[in-house]
Amino acid sequence: MKILRIFLISLILLSCSEEEPILGSIETMIVTNLEASTSSKPGDPQSGNFTKFSFSEQSVVEGDDWDIAFRATTILVNGGFPGGEDEPDRTGIGAGYVEVGSYGSINTIDENKFAQDSQSLYAIPTGSGKGWYNYDFQSHVITPIAGRTLIFKTHNGRYAKVEIQSYYKNSPPTPNITSEAQYYTFNYTYQPNKGVLNFN
Amino acid sequence: MKNNYISKLLLLISFTSVFNFFSKGEITDSLKTIEMNTVVVSANKTDKPLFELTVPAKIITRQEIKNSGFSRLDEIINEQIGIVTVPGYGGSEGVQIQGIDPDYILILVDGFPVIGRVAGILDLSRISLANVERVEIIKGASSALYGSEALGGVINIITQSVEQNKLGSSTYYQYGSFNTHDILANIRYKVKNFHVHGNINYYSSDGFDLIGGDDQKTVEAFNNLTGSVGLGYDFKYLGEIGLGYKRFSENRDGTVFITSPGIESKANTSENNFSIKYRNYISKNLSLNVDFYHSSYESVEEKIDPNNILLKNNFLQSLKRTDIRFKYKTLKNSYITIGFGQDIEAMERTNIISNPEHKSKFTYVQYDWKTNNKLNIVSGLRFDSHKNYNSQLSPKISAKYSYSDNFSIKGSFGYGYKTPDFRQLYLNFVNSTSGYIVLGTKVIEDAIIELKETDQLLFYEELFDTNLLSESSNSLNLGFQYYINPNLPVELNLFRNNIYNLIESNIVGRKINGQTIYSYSNLNKVGTQGLEIQASWLPINRISVKGGYQILYAKDKSAVEDFRSELVYARDPVSGQSFLLKSSDYYGLYGRSRHQLNLNLSYYLNESKDNFNLRINYRGKFGLRDTNNNAFLDKYDRFISGHFISNLSYNKKIMKNLSIQFFVRNIMGYKDVENLLNNPGRSYALKFIFNN
């Protein structure tokens, strides 16, 4: 009887240790010159494919496992409903919100702030001053607003924070109307552990 | 066209030169005439000596205009304390007073408003100084007398009147750098009760180029012609009547637009003003003034784009004004003024579909009360009723207390407003290159309905309030004047302006094709405040010194809130990282300098009033745009450096009727080719004057 109990307990303990989760490490990367061009001419309806990006893959992807997608100044999340032409299908539970604060100091994620893309409003709002960028009418330059960090939920429930550094190829320090636009340079930090709501 | 003008002018000059031999010299001013005795009309719409005024005012006298050698209004106004000129669209120059934008400063000529604001700014280089007697500048909200646009102040250009009973004339010819010609001919004749005068002024320049090697010049070549004629008759008991007509026309060879290079263009502007002024002293204590004014302004721009398509931009604005006022003198030298009138304003413009016409009626009352020898209180109230937007009640109260012979205090508090302009109400403008459309508040609802019916609308803010209110302000001025000795008056003025309901464009919707839809809303609040010190000194008979300094804070109130709420960050240019900004890091509005200094020195050589005149102007650093990614001007942004611009002139009388002047502008040749686009560097000019 006693031997059977010890045998059962050790069996349980053994199976428990095998199921102990392995914690992934947080990845911080810089992406440069991610091309996000539209195939339309200025003034025409925006069309063409979005450039899809995956945090876990650390690269541009073609399939349904994308987290965020770029086209011109619009950034989509992989969750919700399409709002315009030629958008990729939403295949995940992705969401996003804009947080105010310096990139390094934002380390916690607030689930209540997340929004998915909808027909009339994107999770990351478009329009000068409303999302991640400012458009200067006089110089015609798009600049990422200082102190705005984008928080994302990936297509499969992980989290990442993104700070956009430049909208122009090779990140010129003072872009002007002749700079090549629609090339993103951004930092991101990816939290690969499901359900962990911080970047520590 | 150019040759035609010049030959007609040369003919006129030779004609008037003959008359020069028959005219006597003009009245000479005594050097010691302190301008304090100069009569000012703008502060109260009636004559009042400068030293008695209850509101902050500055006069630019005929002598100062002559000494400076400037021929256009923007040039001389830029040297006044607390006033800067700011460049606008297509090379125009607007004026900024106490940190308030050119849109909110009313410009008058002999009491009549100058129209033709392109995108809000009135181009002061249109106004010739040729027959100007003086320029009166009243600071602070003055809508109690003048109605709309007098939010930041009023500039009234008073033209010369014909004083003497004879035939008089004067001409001048000036030649200067950039192939600049400036020619004036003036005739005046008075006999018994009748007088007539005529002026013609031709000005042309080749413009200049700050950055060579491209197709465009920084300022393109232009020429303009101003002609005016006036006559008057004194019917004695039936009153005096004066009629005036003035025409201005300007051609610019090509204008700098915000479009791609390689585009040819030209622009023509013209202005026609007609006025009738009637005055009658009905009794010893009662006078009547009836003024009628019709002004029309037209601007045509033609562009030939790279595809050889002709694009035309037309702008036509007209104003008809009637103003009737009675002035009654009560006991103890106090006055009551009651006035009323009507404005009819019309506009035709590319990108405005209808041809809107606005009618408004106004009435005003003013009480100038001298309670005793020491205290003078002036209070006024004006009511404007507009057919198309909210009516306005504009009060103002001001007072001057003379504590002693050499010390006085004055204070004023007033309300100002500016009605929404035709652009903000009726514009329908599509910018295809940048993908946005701007709709005025009166046309947007119909435009949205049309977009919905043609399935072009993605979304529109249904709660958008299309009822646009007038922009308004209240201003407070407190001044102290002290005569250290009879030749050294010092004046200190503190000011505060609160401007609210500022109209800004904002996003209200989006089309399916991605184009953003903008309209206008009353969004912003701005505060400007500061301090101004002026002094003038006559140390000895031959030298006069005038100087002034202003410190100015001009801030957007919602920006102040954002900074206080710790919402504003800036990007470090080296590390690329964003850091939080403190409240004290907010610098203020673009285009405003914290510090400004002006100095004017004259040295008279002899009794003929030959003189050297030196003006030193310092403009402190200011910001033109955000440079660290937060859309605000903060301490860490890049600023346009503070700089000195000094101008020197030498006036010499050669013969009884002939004098010459030599000028050097911007002696040190300071330039900033990237940021100061209206500054060509050092320039010279030589002027010959026949009896002026």
Exposure class string for B461-482: b at 16+ Cβ within 10 A, else e: eeebebebbbbbbbbbbbbbbb
Contacts of B575 in chain A (CB under 8 A): none
The listed range with the strongest mean pLDDT (B84-88, B299-303, B327-331, B526-530) is B526-530
Given B514, B568, B627, which is nearest A147 (Cβ)? Answer: B568
Best mean pLDDT range from A86-95, B315-324, B462-471: B315-324
Q: Name which of B598, B684, B617 is nearest B649 in CA terms.
A: B684
**In which order are the strands placed within the sheet that holds B153-159?**
B57-60, B132-139, B153-159, B105-109, B112-113
Strands (E), B192-304: 194-205, 222-234, 240-252, 264-281, 286-304
Q: In A, which residues are within 8 Å of B458 by CB distance?
A: 83-84, 120
Token code pair at residue A200: 């520590």
Q: DSSP assignment, residue A73?
A: T
3-state secondary structure of A8: helix
What is the arithmetic mean of pLDDT over B514-536? 90
Alpha-carbon separation of residue B409 from B53, B55, B93 (angstroms): 11, 10, 34
Instruction: Give me the DSSP letters along B607-651.
Output: TT--EEEEEEEEE--B--S--SSSSS-BTTS--BPPEEEEEEEEE
Distance (Å) from the alpha carbon of B642 to chain A's nearest alpha carbon: 22
**Which of B488-491's residues contact partners 24+ apart within 8 Å by CB, and which partners?**
B488/B535, B488/B536, B488/B537, B488/B538, B489/B34, B489/B36, B489/B535, B489/B536, B490/B533, B490/B534, B490/B535, B491/B533, B491/B534, B491/B535
Share of chain B above pLDDT 70, in %: 90
For residue B30, the SS3 value is coil
Of B124, B182, B126, B184, give the one whose Cα is nearest residue B160: B184
- Chain B residue numbers with beta carbons less than 8 Å from the beta carbon of A182 are none
Q: Which residues of A touch B579 (CB under 8 A)?
A: 102
**pLDDT for B258:** 40
Q: Pinpoint the alpha helices (H) of B372-524.
A: 422-426, 444-453
Contact check, Cβ <8 Å, A136/B580: no
CA quadruple A93, A98, A102, A107: dihedral sign? negative
Which of A38, A133, A137, A162 to substitute to test the interface with B, most B CBs within 10 Å?
A137
Of the residues B578, B627, B633, B674, the best mutation for testing chain A's interface (the one with the most A CB atoms within 10 Å of its CB) is B578
Q: Check A165 against B515: CB less than 8 A apart.
A: no
Which pLDDT belongs to residue A46? Answer: 66
**Host H or E run for residue B562:** helix B557-564
Whole-number average pLDDT of chain B: 86
User: Which pLDDT band holds residue B675 (cuts at 50, 70, 90)?
Assistant: confident
* Segment B317-345 mean pLDDT: 93
Nearest to B315 by CA among B121, B51, B601, B545: B121
Residue A145 touches chain B, beta carbons under 8 Å: yes
Chain A's closest residue to B505, CA to CA, is A137
Give the distance from residue A92's alpha carbon to the nearest chain B alpha carbon, in angstroms: 25
| Residue pLDDT, tens place only, B332-381 | 789 999 999 999 999 888 888 778 888 999 999 999 998 888 999 999 99
Among B243-257, B300-314, B575-589, where is mean pLDDT lowest?
B300-314
Q: Is B229 exposed, middle or buried (0-12, 13-18, 19+ CB in 10 A)?
A: middle
Chain A residue with the nearest C-alpha to that of B506: A128
B31 pLDDT band, cuts 50/70/90, is very low
Question: Is residue A127 within 8 angstroms of chain B, CB to CB?
Answer: yes
pLDDT per residue over B619-663, tens digit each? Answer: 999 998 888 888 899 999 999 999 999 999 999 999 888 999 999
Beta strands B543-556; B595-604: pairing state? antiparallel
Calpha distance B174→B170 (Å, rounded): 14
> So what's the pLDDT on residue B302?
78
On whether the CB atoms of residues A71 and A36 are closer than 8 A, the answer is: yes
Predicted confidence (pLDDT) at residue B20 exceeds the cutoff of 50:
no
pLDDT of residue B53: 85
B577–A145 C-beta distance less than 8 A: no
Task: Name every chain A residue with its beta carbon within 8 A of the beta carbon of B514.
Answer: 45-46, 84
Provide the edge-to-edge strand list for the sheet that holds A181-191. Answer: A27-35, A181-191, A159-168, A148-153, A95-100
Provide the shortest C-alpha distance from residue A198 to chain B (in Å): 20
Residue A70: its pLDDT value, please?
Answer: 92
Residues of chain B with a CB closer than 8 angstroms to some CB in chain A: 258, 432-435, 458-459, 507, 510, 512-516, 567-571, 573, 576-580, 625-631
Contact at CB, A42 and B579, closer than 8 angstroms:
no
Averaged pLDDT, B16-20: 41
Q: How far is CA B621 from CA B27, B95, B613, B624, B638, in A?
A: 43, 18, 26, 10, 10
**pLDDT given at position B305:** 63
Closest B-chain CA to A138:
B258
Distance of CA A138 to the CA centre of its chain: 30
| B568: nearest CA partner in chain A | A147
| Residue B259 reports pLDDT greater than 60 | no
In this structure, what token pair is assigned to residue B334? 């106090």
Kind and range of the H or E element at A13? helix A2-18
Average pLDDT over residues B523-540: 92
Q: Which DSSP category does A115 fall into?
A: B
What DSSP assignment string belongs to B59-97? EE-HHHHHHHT--BHHHHHTTSTTEEEEE-GGG-EEEEE
Give Cα B191 to chain centroid, integer Å: 35
Mutate to test the interface with B, among A81, A143, A161 (most CBs of B within 10 A): A143
Q: How far apart are the first and last CA of chain B?
A: 28
Nearest to A102 among B507, B577, B629 (CB): B577
In chain A, residues with a C-beta closer than 8 Å to the C-beta of B456 are none
Give me the residue from A100, A139, A145 closest to B629, CB to CB.
A145
Q: Is the pLDDT of residue B9 over 80?
A: no
Residue A177 CB: number of other CB atoms within 10 A?
Answer: 10
B-chain CB neighbours of A143 within 8 Å are 629
Closest CA to B276 of B319, B301, B240: B240
How far apart CA B513 and CA A86 sit, in angstroms, is 12
Mean pLDDT check: name the lowest of B156-170, B336-350, B390-404. Answer: B156-170
Q: Please count the residues of chain B.
A: 692
Element (H, E) at B5: helix B2-20
CB contact under 8 A, B435 and A144: no
Instruction: Tell which wins on pLDDT, B141 or A22.
Output: B141
Q: Of B344, B414, B350, B347, nearest to B378 (Cα)?
A: B414
Nearest Cβ partner for A146 among B458, B513, B569: B569
pLDDT at A173: 84
| Whole-number pLDDT of residue B399 | 94
Contact check, Cβ <8 Å, B514/A144: no
Q: Is the pLDDT of residue B28 over 70?
A: no
Q: Where are the alpha helices (DSSP H) in B317-462?
A: 422-426, 444-453
- Single out the residue of B369, B365, B360 nearest to residue B381, CA to CA: B365
User: According to the per-residue pLDDT averaged within each range, which of B54-58, B244-248, B571-575 is highest?
Assistant: B244-248
| CA–CA dist B544, B210 (Å, integer) | 36
Q: Chains A, B: CB contacts under 8 A, how many?
A: 74
The Cα–Cα gap between B501 and B525 comes to: 6
Give start and end residues of each alpha helix (H) in B321-459: 422-426, 444-453
| Chain B CA closest to residue A40 | B513
According to DSSP, residue B293 is labeled E
- Please count the other Cβ atoms lying within 10 Å of the Cβ belonging to residue A118: 12
Q: Which of A71, A117, A142, A148 should be substituted to probe chain B, the one whose Cβ sees the most B Cβ atoms within 10 Å? A: A148
**Alpha-helical segments (H) within B21-174:** 62-68, 73-77, 143-146
* Contact call for B507 and A128, based on CB within 8 A: yes
- Report the distance separating Cα B197 and Cα B244, nearest Å: 9
Please state the length of chain A. 200
In which element (H, E) is residue B560 found? helix B557-564
Mean pLDDT of B111-135: 86
pLDDT for B335 equals 92
Q: Give the minimum alpha-carbon distance from B508 to chain A in angstroms, rounded to a whole number.
A: 10
Tokens of B278: 């009637």
Beta bridge partners of A141: A136
Instruction: Count CB atoms within 10 A of the CB of residue B228.
Output: 21
Q: CA B413, CA B399: separation in Å to the nearest integer?
A: 9
C-alpha span between A148 and A125 (Å, rounded) = 12
Closest Cα in chain B, distance from residue A135 (Å): 9
Q: Is the pLDDT of residue B6 over 70?
A: no
A 23-62 residues with CB < 8 A to B: 42-46
Strands B48-49 and A59-60: unpaired
* B434-443, B529-538, B650-659, B677-686, range with the lowest pLDDT: B434-443
3-state secondary structure (DSSP) of residue A113: helix
Residue among B507, B514, B577 minimizing CB distance to A45: B514
Sheet with strand A51-54: strands edge to edge: A59-60, A51-54, A68-71, A74-77
Nearest-by-Cβ selection for A136 from B567, B578, B625: B625
Give pLDDT tens digits for B583-597.
Answer: 999 999 998 999 999
* Tokens 């009418």, residue located: A137
What's the N-to-C CA distance of chain A in angstroms? Answer: 49
Predicted pLDDT of residue B548:
95
CA distance B673 to B592: 19
**Lowest mean pLDDT: which of A190-194, B34-38, B159-163, B356-360?**
B34-38
Per-residue pLDDT at A6: 60
Residue B141: name the closest of B416, B364, B530 by CA. Answer: B416
Residue-wise pLDDT tens for chain A (200 aa)? 566 666 555 555 554 445 556 677 888 888 888 888 876 665 566 677 889 999 998 889 998 899 999 988 889 999 998 877 788 889 999 999 999 988 988 999 999 999 999 887 889 988 788 899 988 776 778 899 999 999 999 998 999 999 999 999 998 888 888 888 899 999 999 998 888 888 87
| Percentage of chain B modeled with pLDDT above 90 | 49
